[in-house]
Chains A and B, each alone.
Chain A
Amino acid sequence: MSLLEIKNLHASVNGNEILKGINLSVNAGEVHSIMGPNGSGKSTLAGVLARRESYEITQGQILFNGKDLLEMKPEEAACEGLFLAFQYPVEIPGISNAYFLRTALNAIRKFRGEEELDAMDFLPLLREKMRLLEMDEKFLNRPVNEGFSGGEKKRNEIVQLAMLEPKLAVLDETDSGLDIDALKVVSKGVNAMRSKDRAMVLVTHYQRLLNYIVPDFVHVLVNGKIVKSGGPELALELEDKGYSWTENEPVGARR
Chain B
Amino acid sequence: MSETITATHAPDRYLETFEQFSRGAATQLGWLKALRQEGFARFSETGFPTTHDEDWRFTNISSISQTPFEIAPRTRIKASDLDQFGLAGFECLLVFVNGRYSSELSHVPNLGTGVKVTSLAEQISTDAAAVEKHLGQYLNIQRDSFAALNTAFIEDGVYVHVARNTALKTPIYVLYVSAPGGAPVMDHPRNLIVVEESAEATVVEDYVSLGEGSAFSNAVTEVVAEPNAIVSHYMLVRAAASSYNVSTLRIQQARSSNVSTHSLLLSGSILRNNVHPVLAGEGGECLINGLFMVNSGQTMDNYMLVEHAAPHCASRQFYNGVLNGQGHGVFHGRIIVHKDAQKTDAKQTNRNLLLSDDAQIDTKPQLEIYADDVKCTHGATIGQVEENALFYLRSRGLDEAAAKHLLLLAFANECLDRMNSEQMRAYIEALVMTWLPDAARYVGAKPSEVERSLEEVG
Count of A interface residues, CB-CB < 8 Å: 30
A141 nearest CB across to chain B (Å): 11
Given known pairs A73-B400, A75-B400, A107-B402, the reply for A94 and B417 (CB within 8 Å) is: yes
B444 to chain A: closest CB distance in Å? 12
Q: Are A107 and B412 in contact (CB under 8 A)?
A: no
Contact with B along A196-215 (1 / 0, CB 8 A): 00000000000000000000
A75 touches B406 (CB 8 A): no
User: Chain A residues near B394 (CB, 8 Å)?
Assistant: 73-75, 78
The answer to the question of A2 belonging to the interface, with a C-beta cut-off of 8 Å to chain B, is no
A-B contact count (CB 8 A): 76
9-residue interface stretch from B134-142, B183-191, B384-392: B384-392
Q: Which of A89, A90, A95, A108 contacts B397 (CB 8 A)?
A: A108
Distance A94 CA – B407 CA, assembled complex (angstroms): 8
Chain B residue nearest to A106 in the complex (CB): B397
Shortest A86–chain B CB gap in Å is 7
By beta carbon, the residue of chain B nearest A77 is: B395
Residues A93 and B414 in contact, CB atoms below 8 Å apart? yes
Q: Which residues of B contact A53 (CB under 8 A)?
A: 391
Inter-chain CA distance A189–B122, complex, in Å, is 67
Report the Cα distance A107→B401, complex, angstroms: 12
Chain B window 370-400, contacts with chain A (Cβ cutoff 8 Å), 1 for yes, 0 for no = 0000000000000000101101111111111
Min Cβ gap B436→A in Å is: 13
Mark A47-90 against chain B: 1 for CB-CB distance below 8 A, else 0: 00011110000000000000000000111011100011010011
A101 to B397, CA, bound (A): 10
Q: What residues make up the interface of B, taking CB atoms closer than 8 Å to A?
A: 386, 388-389, 391-400, 402-403, 406-407, 409-414, 417
**A229 CA / B193 CA spacing, docked (Å):** 76
Contacting pair B410 A94 (CB below 8 A): yes
Q: Is the CB of B396 within 8 A of A104?
A: yes
Pairwise interchain contact B417-A90, C-beta atoms closer than 8 A: no
From B397, B412, B414, A79 is in contact (CB under 8 Å) with: B397
Q: B396 and A93: CB pair below 8 A?
A: no
How far is B336's CA from A230's CA once the two chains are assembled, in angstroms?
70
Nearest-neighbor residue (CB-CB) of B388 within chain A: A90
**Which of B386, B397, B411, B414 touches A107 (beta carbons < 8 Å)?**
B397
Query: Told that A92-B406, A94-B413 touch, could you supply 9 new A-B pairs with CB distance under 8 A?
Result: A52-B395, A75-B394, A78-B394, A92-B392, A95-B406, A95-B410, A100-B396, A107-B396, A107-B402
A174 contacts the other chain (CB 8 A): no
| Contact yes or no, A90 B398, CB < 8 A | no
Partner of B399, one of A51, A100, A107: A107
CB distance from B202 to the nearest CB of A (A): 24
Within the complex, the shortest CB–CB distance from A173 to chain B, in Å, comes to 16
User: Bound complex: CA of A101 vs CA of B388, how far in Å?
Assistant: 17
Residues in chain A near residue B396, CB distance under 8 A: 78, 100-101, 104, 107, 160, 164
The closest CB in chain A to the CB of B416 belongs to A94
Which residue of B392, B399, B414 contacts A94 across the interface (Cβ within 8 Å)?
Answer: B414
Contact A89 B399 (CB under 8 A): no
